Amino acid sequence: MKKLLTLAVAVLCMISAAFAQQALGSRANVKSPEIHPDNSVTFRLKAPEAKKVVVTGDFTTTAGEDIRNVEMKLNADNIWEASVPALRSELYSYNFLVDGVKICDPANVYINRDVASVMNIFIINGDRGDIYKVNDVPHGSVRRAWYNSPTLGIDRRVTIYTPAGYESGKDKYPVLYLLHGAGGDEEAWITLGRTSQILDNLIAQGKCKPMIVVMTNGNAGQQAAPGESAAGMTQPAMGMGGGARPKASFEQSFGDVIKYVESNYRVIAKKEARAVAGLSMGGGHSFNISRTYPKTFDYVGLFSAAARIGDNVEIQESLKAQRDNGFKLYWIACGNTDFLYKANLDFMKYLDSINFPYKYRESDGGHIWRNWRIYLSEFAPMLFQ
């Protein structure tokens, strides 16, 4: 009986190995995406039973053409294939639609999660791509830490970037608090925003001061990103982040974040060494935090921000107090096809009416990570000068 059991296990192992080798061989025969010397890109997928396959992405050619969907065709090797013309330097994301079902490219192991969606990525080298990729430069460290928030009554997770040399040195550093948008979490900026790569590269080039970057979870009802807390592997929420009903707002609890950072990291705990910035909802958080704590931040960045004033007298008075207290940079950036574009114009119109100093950066495009990565790469070099 023992010999039969041993033989059965051996046969199962051989069968498993054979299937693994077959799967590996099948994948090894498919190269996707293939980036050609002229920066055109070819996508391939082995799906012999499929009736229709489309590659869907966010591609922009060197000629300025935006490409979203390209129908794939079967090549001589019975593999679905499609190519796009030479692309601009950028980080791109894409998926395959196989008979209407969205899947990731099995030949490409590089995948990001954005809220509840997963997609493949690749980088076209050049100006922007070179800032977003890992280069042979001194690298900072990224830590996922937990801090206690008495205001919210829970422990919460935060992502913290420290620049190269932090662990071995004794210097103190300025801090950028970098906030995500609706549906995001403490993983968003480090993954989708390429924060560590951008900071590593800009610091190495001498274009940016070494700094600590604190990437919070802006959903006050959450402890952490989906799958990273005691709540388990919950479905990522598409709206404001989900979670339990919070005891207070994220803005009201922000002092807990600052206290944790300044108690546990070598930071310069002064107004001139603190910055707060964020995208969309996080831009709204930055707007509220900076006016609520007018003596705390000298640098404020609003990226496609959800910043609204209306007839709210309290907000109006707090902005006037922030203006009178003074700061070094109030930077607003938005794409000209962003759904919050008009709201940002209205916001700046009010700022003009009260002589509130700011700088405005308008770009092409909409409410997308491509813009927010650009904004971070332009905002960071202006800090702590």
Which pLDDT does position 239 carry in this prediction?
58
Query: Is there a common fold for 31-125 and 141-382?
Result: no
> Is CATH 3.40.50.1820 the right assignment for the domain spanning 141-382?
yes
Three-class SS of residue 77?
A: coil
Q: pLDDT tens, 36-84?
A: 999 999 999 999 999 999 999 999 999 999 999 999 999 999 999 999 9
Average confidence (pLDDT) over 81-102: 98
Which pLDDT does position 240 carry in this prediction?
52
Q: pLDDT tens, 207-260?
A: 999 999 999 999 999 999 999 998 888 878 765 555 668 889 999 999 999 999
What does pLDDT average to over the chain?
Answer: 92
Which pLDDT does position 382 carry in this prediction?
98
For the chain, the structural domain boundaries read 31-125, 141-382
Average confidence (pLDDT) over 165-174: 97
| Residues β-bridged to residue 90 | 124
Give domain 31-125's CATH architecture. Sandwich (2.60)
- Distance of alpha carbon 226 from alpha carbon 110, whole angstroms: 20
